Amino acid sequence: MNKIKKKLSFIYKSLIRSLFIILYGRIIFCQNPEKDKNVTIEKIKDKNLKDPDNFSYSIYKIKNGKIFTDFVENVAIISGNKIIDKISYQQVNGELKDANHNSVLYRGTPYLKKKINGRVLSLTQGASGHKNYFHWLYDILPKINICSKNYDLKEIDYFYVSKLEEYQKSTLQILGYGDLKIIDSNKDRHIQADEIICSEHPWYKNGFILEEANRLPSWIINWIGDSFINHAKEFDCNEKIFIDRSESAFSHCQFVNNKEITNFLESEGFTSYKIGQLSFQEQIYLFSNAKIIIGAQGAAFANLAFCKKNTKILEIKPKKHPNFVDQHISKLKELDFNLIETDELKNKDEKGDIFLDTAVLKNFL
């Protein structure tokens, strides 16, 4: 019975794709976008902003352009029936590939197309760009900054991005873009606009995203700090912080003995904070006011951009976890960064993958 259901599902999906290919045409790879009369490619006017390889960014303008996204691994920026490389986004098994691997080349664009009158700034990317706090600060907002160097964003009619969380709205309001209209890329996965503006990704160029994050350009970290630090919202908080990740829906980078660690650190004068329960402005203040921060690796450490020089940081993560971006940010911010890597747990607990002996913390303190 299951085999029959799978076969029928495959036939149904194949028919749908075929219908949309008939409706919207087959997509092909664009070899030379600079030769397309509807595509304009400009180098960013601010020469101080460079990618990890020290090259200037390019900004693309596509007349009557289209955007298609599956909201997970693929974003296709299309002129006519040609997908444009470098500004399209596609991951295969977690690895960034060129546009020759984008799903639209073999699946087409199987969503009804919505026509947009006006100019659209495309900010969407794979799943990491929707709700993830780190990627919003270090991927999406820098795209806005890059495009603002060549275009007056007050003349942009829409941002194409997923439905905004409160902290995302706060960042846009601070930057002066709170009144711009949003096209929800989850609801409208296939659009065509009079004009589409899109930049290259600020730092993700090759391979796996956690490895590439270690090459974050210093301008992004400095820009985040400079843009938001004066908007911190003061509240009664401790200078000794324990980041409690137990609120996260993810099981990775979670302490199996979280309560024990919390109790121990509170006895040492720390206060535990569930960072996601604070407003964006409160997060800025918490990290800028801190003298010592302890926690398991997670998105909350994106706030290291707001820390003062020499703030003491202790990050804990499993040895097999390949993310060292917080160490990179700390180096550029001149923070006193320390790392503890824990062994793989023999008796795995679905609620966590880190066991940390409080004696280790006592030695650190």
In tens, the pLDDT along 17-48 reads 888 888 899 999 998 999 999 999 999 999 99
Of the three residues 179, 196, 225, the one that is the final residue of a domain is 225
**CA-wise closest residue to 160 among 295, 29, 62:** 62
Residues 217 and 345 in one domain: no
Residue scoring higher pLDDT (2 or 297): 297
> What per-residue confidence (pLDDT) applies to 8?
66
State mean pLDDT over 225-245: 97
16 — pLDDT class (breaks 50, 70, 90): confident
Residues 257 and 176 in one domain: no
User: What percent of the chain clears pLDDT 70, i.e. is strictly above it?
Assistant: 96
Domain-embedded: residue 133: yes
Per the structure, how many domains does the chain have? Answer: 2
Residue scoring higher pLDDT (344 or 213): 213
Tens of pLDDT, residues 95-112:
999 999 999 999 999 999
- Residue 349, pLDDT > 60, answer no
State mean pLDDT over 285-298: 96
* Kind of pairing between the strands at 95-96 and 89-92: antiparallel
151 — pLDDT class (breaks 50, 70, 90): very high
User: What percent of the chain clears pLDDT 90, i.e. is strictly above it?
Assistant: 77
pTM over 0.75: yes
Tokens of 133: 């706090």
Residues 46 and 123 in one domain: yes
Sign of CA dihedral 81, 29, 51, 320: positive
C-alpha to C-alpha distance for 180 and 30, rounded to whole angstroms: 31
- Residue 209, pLDDT > 80, answer yes
Residues 212 and 246 in one domain: no
Residues 210 and 263 in one domain: no
305 — pLDDT class (breaks 50, 70, 90): very high
> What per-residue confidence (pLDDT) applies to 12?
66
Residue scoring higher pLDDT (192 or 248): 192
C-alpha to C-alpha distance for 159 and 162, rounded to whole angstroms: 9
Domain-embedded: residue 306: yes
Tens of pLDDT, residues 65-124:
999 999 999 999 999 999 999 999 999 988 999 999 999 999 999 999 999 999 999 999
* Kind of pairing between the strands at 190-199 and 114-122: parallel
364 — pLDDT class (breaks 50, 70, 90): confident
Question: Which residues face 295 on adjacent strands?
Answer: 243, 315
Average pLDDT over all residues of the chain = 92
Q: State the CATH number of the domain containing residue 248.
A: 3.40.50
C-alpha to C-alpha distance for 182 and 30, rounded to whole angstroms: 28
C-alpha to C-alpha distance for 95 and 290, rounded to whole angstroms: 36
> What per-residue confidence (pLDDT) applies to 243?
96
Distances (CA, A) of 201 to 50, 216, 233: 11, 11, 31
Residues 259 and 198 in one domain: no
Domain housing 314: 232-364
Which range among 251-255, 260-264, 327-331 shows the weakest confidence by mean pLDDT? 251-255
